[in-house]
């Protein structure tokens, strides 16, 4: 789906090679400054680096902006909200690349409303919402843009720290929605800081360290040794009923 071949942004990330696969939820982890946002921006075609980035086999920089807006959606880390808009107007913006608000858009919005708790937010001015409420609307806008029921060209979903500022209920709801969009056939990629949630929900985890991939694979690649090397913290691994949990090792002084 989205192939990176030696992608590099000098001083920020790379070289990184690999593929974000259709139907898979890929979660990026790594310390602050390890290159997660830079990699997502490169995958979205928002910055041009060295190496190659191909979406559905075509060089990303061969897409015109409207074509790109139909094929991929990106939630930026500190997305700014247009002033003066109400919640439903913000969501309606997502429908612009696919011809405006239609019945299919309303159906998709209704499907996002319950898990993201949007019903009380549609009529309110977005700049008067709490940080977490704004984030939930921004997540919905991003998902809507490439929702298969709305946009048959939607292929790639990129989200930079979608869980930032969300309470636990909405963190889990968001991860379940990302899982659902991957199951619908999209390539879904998000950066997150909660390593245990990454292990629980990801099909594939990419662990970045100083701009390079330190590990890539299923949850089993995230070991206490890797965490010590990449994050510089001691953790111990608990395994029960197939679940894996990394806990700070308090005896090691953490």
Does position 50 interact with ligand ATP (CB under 6 A)? The reply is no
Cβ-contact 79, 142 below 8 angstroms = no
List binders of ligand ATP among 65-104 (CB under 6 A): 77
Choose, by CB under 6 A, the member of 38, 71, 135, 151 that binds ligand ATP: 38
**Least Å distance between CB 238 and ligand ATP?**
25
Does position 212 interact with ligand ATP (CB under 6 A)? The reply is no
Residue 36, Cβ density class (10 Å: 0-12 exposed, 13-18 middle, ≥19 buried): buried
**Least Å distance between CB 160 and ligand ATP?**
7
Distance between CA atoms of residues 188 and 193, nearest Å? 17
**Least Å distance between CB 41 and ligand ATP?**
8
Does position 32 interact with ligand ATP (CB under 6 A)? The reply is yes
Distance between CA atoms of residues 126 and 120, nearest Å? 12
For residue 218, how many C-alpha atoms fall within 13 Å in the half-sphere facing its CB?
3
Does position 37 interact with ligand ATP (CB under 6 A)? The reply is yes
**Least Å distance between CB 106 and ligand ATP?**
34
Q: What is the 3-class SS of 215-248, one letter each residue? A: EEECHHHCCHHHHHHHHCCCEEEEEECCEEEEEE
Positions touching ligand ATP (CB under 6 A) are: 11-13, 30, 32-38, 77
């Amino acid at each position: 789906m989205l192939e990176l071949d030696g992608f590099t942004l000098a001083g920020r990330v790379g070289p990184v090679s690999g593929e974000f696969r259709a139907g898979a939820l890929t979660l990026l982890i790594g310390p602050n400054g390890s290159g997660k946002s830079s990699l997502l921006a490169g995958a979205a075609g928002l910055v041009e680096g060295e190496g190659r980035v191909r979406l559905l086999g075509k060089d990303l920089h061969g897409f015109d902006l409207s074509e790109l807006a139909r094929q991929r959606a990106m939630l930026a880390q500190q997305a700014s909200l247009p002033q003066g808009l109400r919640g439903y107007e913000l969501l309606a913006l997502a429908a612009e690349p696919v011809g405006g608000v239609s019945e299919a858009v309303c159906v998709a919005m209704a499907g996002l409303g319950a898990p993201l708790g949007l019903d009380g937010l549609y009529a309110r001015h977005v700049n008067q919402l709490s940080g977490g409420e704004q984030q939930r609307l921004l997540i919905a806008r991003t998902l809507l843009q490439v929702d298969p029921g709305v946009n048959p060209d939607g292929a790639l979903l990129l989200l930079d720290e979608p869980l930032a500022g969300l309470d636990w209920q909405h963190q889990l709801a968001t991860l379940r929605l990302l899982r659902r969009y991957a199951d619908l056939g999209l390539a879904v990629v998000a950066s997150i800081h909660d390593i245990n949630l990454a292990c629980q929900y990801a099909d594939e985890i990419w662990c970045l360290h100083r701009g390079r991939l330190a590990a890539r694979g299923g949850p089993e690649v995230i070991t206490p040794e890797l965490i010590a090397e990449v994050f510089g913290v001691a953790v111990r691994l608990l395994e029960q009923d197939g679940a894996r949990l990394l806990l700070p090792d308090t005896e090691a002084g953490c």
